Amino acid sequence: MTRNPTYGHELRHDPADLRRSLSGASTVPFWLDTAHPDPLPALSGRTTADLLVVGGGFCGLWTALQAKERDPDRDVVLVEAKRVGWAASGRNGGFVEASLTHGRDNGRRHFAAELDAIDALATANFEGFAETIERYGIDAEYEATGVLSVATEPHQVEELRAGGASVLEGDALAAVTRSPVVRGAVMHREGGALVNPAKLAWGLREACARLGVRMFENTPVERLTRTAGRVIARTPRGAVAADKVALATNGFPPLLKRLALRTVPIYDYVLVTEPLTHAQLQEIGWVGRFGMSDNSRQFHYYRKTADNRILWGGYDAVYHAGRRVRPAYDQRPETFERLADHFFTAYPQLRGLRFTHKWGGMIDMSTKFVSFQGTAMDGAVAYSLGYTGLGVAATRFGAAVMLDLLAGETTSRTALAFPTTKPFPIPPEPIAYPAIQTMRRAIARSDANGGKDGALIRIAEAFGIGFDS
């Protein structure tokens, strides 16, 4: 009996071949490597606003859009440190998941008593996400095609069976994938979709503009102060005096000291291949438009683009000492080689294929794997962060929670403990770096040990601390 190949940290293929497959690949994220909307002006001078939104990624854009939908007369200003959608929102895999809790198991671990209510809100948010795209005519390449959850180790097949869903094996499995790595799979048709994330961000920007949101790019906020009942946001060439402020700055250094230890910036990396022919797709058994994700703690996610390239990302989750976020970290040759090695392990039929794009980006990881919201400055400032790689749809929910909190309203969202429960803090340096590296090694051992968690992971989870790739 032929043993299924598996992924590992050690390379299975000739490093020279892997480097050739990566040679010449653009370091610009695939989604952003196209014509951009015209730049918006930077803020110069002073202005006022009823609501200031800091951050031009998904969370900030959803906040500004929903604020104007709730009150068209509200004067909303959005400022972005660089370009709208340039960071995590424009460089992720484009997976849209209904879940707000990183799956039911994680939700059950932290919010068991509220899980049914959270799931109902998640479904409504997912449906609202799709409805908004359609209503504003946003060309985000939205595809409600679902996600194939695949098992690459024997214990993962048993876990899929234990979940109660119909597990695809044998001929049924070969009808959706012929990867020798995959041992079984479950198709999730509901609650999963794909988008072009950059087009989504740019479409939300256009929708905000149509509703009258005033937006400024290349306008970082340097500090916040409270003066005479208003919040003053200082920028390099001006300031905004606002009645209310919503902070949507993801994993970048927070403007509120109280948030400094609640998340860490973790770098994730992605490859995109040259376009595949129909014959190549048939050879690997992937003719559908669904995305895929494997069930390891160090997991891969992969999907097809509109022109039938394969986007292949995940596995390595890299923390750089000091909670630093730097452009240089967007490139990591050793991780790109490992991803290429895993790709050709999954699809040996495609050896010789070249990668056209390679990039990395920062994820704001929290120890609960879910976002959290709260207020500061006597309720005049709200914040939302900690999405841990699940932000494409969940940011819409987080934005709504921020607006509820700023309005002082009790809603179906704020009535729950879930949105405002703070994750266990991650210690400062010099403790954070060795602690995270130790946890990464424990996760790798768990995958190699049939999914059996060691003492360190079990103890950490007992304190509400989690970590995945």
pLDDT in tens, 124-166: 999 999 999 999 999 999 999 999 999 999 999 999 999 888 9
Dump pLDDT digits (tens) for 57-83: 999 999 999 999 999 999 999 999 999
Q: What are phi and psi of 255, to 5 degrees?
A: -85, -10
pLDDT, tens digit, 9 for 90 and up, residues 275-290: 999 999 999 999 999 9
> What six digits make up the tokens of 256?
């509120």
Q: Which fold has domain 45-138+195-263+368-420?
A: FAD/NAD(P)-binding domain (3.50.50)
SS3 content of the chain, % helix, strand, coil (to 5): 35, 20, 45
**Contacts (Cβ under 8 Å, ≥6 apart) of 28:** 357, 359
- Residue 56 and residue 78 in contact, taking contact as beta carbons nearer than 8 Å: yes
Looking at the structure, give the CATH architecture of the domain made up of residues 142-190+264-362: 2-Layer Sandwich (3.30)
Average pLDDT of the chain is 95
Residue 468's pLDDT is 59
Report the pLDDT value the prediction gives residue 1, as an integer from 0 to 100. Answer: 33
Instruction: Using a pLDDT cut of 90, give the percent of the chain over it.
Output: 90
**H-helix or E-strand spanning residue 241:** strand 238-247
- pLDDT tens digits for range 185-220: 999 999 999 999 999 999 999 999 999 999 999 999
The token pair that represents 344 in the structure block: 């050709």
C-beta separation of 99 from 123 below 8 A:
no
- The CA-CA-CA angle for residues 88, 365, 108, to 5°, reads 120
pTM of the full structure: 0.96
d(CA 357, CA 355): 6
> H/E element holding 400?
helix 391-407
